[in-house]
Structure 1
Amino acid sequence: MLINQELLFSYGGEVATFNTKEYIFEENQTPRYYHQIISGDVKLNHVSEDGKELIQSIHTVGDSVCELLLFIDEKYPVNAVTISECTVMKVAKPDFLTMLNDHRDVSENVHKYISYRLYEKFVMMQNIAANSADTRVRGILKYFKNYSKDQSPYSYEVKLTRQQLASVTGLRVETVIRSLKKLEKEKLITIEKGKVYY
């Protein structure tokens, strides 16, 4: 966990539960809470005018969601949507800022976390800028596997659907499927019963 749950409770933290495909917050809302995931997965996305979804990032247990916006007066530029059933700890913005003021070590950890997420965003942007679809798909698989303790071949089960992989990479679903088949022929991934292992 980024921040100890007991500490969050002591600053007014509340637990909220969400079903799959439920919004934690929506684009253009004003940030009022710090959100930390206790269980489940959350995607940050944007839907274009023509209805195409672009997934900005995916967060899991222990991650916080868009905490950086609590430090500036801007509205959410993305939606936070649950990918699975999800439990989230939320702390009101004023209480969260007081907690950071009272606990310098926690404040430093939050700033490191924000810095690391910004670094990841740069890596993702470089990956998406690649011309080759195969490079994009391989890059996103590598990005997500980096969070896994086991780095051996085929040890990481990709939890994203083909559609979600397309939304993260900015590719069409058909292109993602072709790239996955090519990566399988190159023995970089295995596909068993529709599940991808990298």
Structure 2
Amino acid sequence: MLIEEELLLSYGAVIEDYGRSHIIFDEGDIPKFYYQIVKGRIKLNHYNEDGKELILAILSPGLSVCELLLFIEKKYPVNAVVFEQCTVLKLPKSNFVRLMDENPPISRDVNKFLSERLYYKYIMLQNNSSMYADVRIIGVLDYHKSFYEDQRKFSFEVPLTRQQLASMTGLRVETVIRTIKKLEQQGIVKVINRKIYY
């Protein structure tokens, strides 16, 4: 959990429940709240000029949603869409800023978290520019696994379908399916009951 639930509540956060496909914010909205996931998952996406969805991240419990935009005066460059039934802590921006000012250790933790996310995002972007499907897919898997403490081989159940991996890498679904099979043969991933473990 990025920030303890009790601390967020003490600064005025409210708990909100959202159903699948609920839009928390749209691309172009002005950031007004800090969001932290308690239960469920949220995807950050964007649609290109052809209407094709590009998934930028799928966020899990304990993670915050686009918190970096609370530090600058910019509009959201992505949509935040509930991926599965979700419970979220929602804190007004002014209260979040006060929480950061009054709790330097929390502020340092948030800065460290942002730095780690940016680091892995750069790595993923580098990998996504590769001509090789396996490099792109491994980049996405590394990025998502980086959110979890357990980094042992095959400890991470990938929360993405083959279609979502395709949307994140710009590959065709058929290419993702073939590449996952190849990665399994190479011992890089395991597939159990159609779930990918990395």
Aligned to 2:118: 118
> 1:170 is matched by which residue type in structure 2?
G
Change (3 A) 1:80 1:184: same
Give per-residue Cα distances to partners, 1:161-189, cap 9 Å, x unaligned. Answer: 11110111121111111111211222322
Give per-residue Cα distances to partners, 1:85-104, cap 9 Å, x unaligned. Answer: 11110100111111111222
Aligned to 1:43: 43
Give how far 1:16 is off: 0.8
Correspondences of 1:50-69 after superposition (within 5 Å)? 50-69=50-69
Q: Does 1:139 pair with 2:133?
A: no
Using the size of structure 2 for normalisation, the TM-score is 0.92
Q: Tell me how far apart the structure 2 counterparts of residues 137 and 76 of structure 1 sit (CA, whole Å).
A: 26
Correspondences of 1:1-198 after superposition (within 5 Å)? 1-198=1-198
Give how far 1:152 is off: 4.0
Give how far 1:148 is off: 4.1
Give how far 1:29 is off: 0.6
Change (3 A) 1:75 1:132: same
Q: Is the 8 A contact 2:127 2:135 kept in 1?
A: yes
Give per-residue Cα distances to partners, 1:23-69, cap 9 Å, x unaligned. Answer: 11111111100001111111111111212111112211111111111
Q: Tell me how far apart the structure 1 counterparts of residues 192 and 130 of structure 2 sit (CA, whole Å).
A: 28
Q: Tell me how far apart the structure 2 counterparts of residues 121 and 189 of structure 1 sit (CA, whole Å).
A: 21
Q: Tell me how far apart the structure 1 counterparts of residues 153 and 119 of structure 2 sit (CA, whole Å).
A: 25
- CA RMSD in angstroms, aligned pairs only: 1.6
SS at match of 1:83: strand
Give how far 1:144 is off: 2.6
SS at match of 2:179: helix
Q: Tell me how far apart the structure 2 counterparts of residues 100 and 151 of structure 1 sit (CA, whole Å).
A: 29
Give how far 1:140 is off: 2.0
Q: Tell me how far apart the structure 2 counterparts of residues 187 and 95 of structure 1 sit (CA, whole Å).
A: 48
Give how far 1:146 is off: 3.7
Using the size of structure 1 for normalisation, the TM-score is 0.92
Q: Give the % identical residues.
A: 51
SS at match of 1:7: helix
5+ residue gaps in structure 1? none
Q: Is the 8 A contact 2:120 2:146 kept in 1?
A: no
SS at match of 1:183: helix
SS at match of 1:84: strand
Q: Tell me how far apart the structure 2 counterparts of residues 110 and 145 of structure 1 sit (CA, whole Å).
A: 19
Give how far 1:150 is off: 4.1
Q: Tell me how far apart the structure 1 counterparts of residues 80 and 163 of structure 2 sit (CA, whole Å).
A: 17
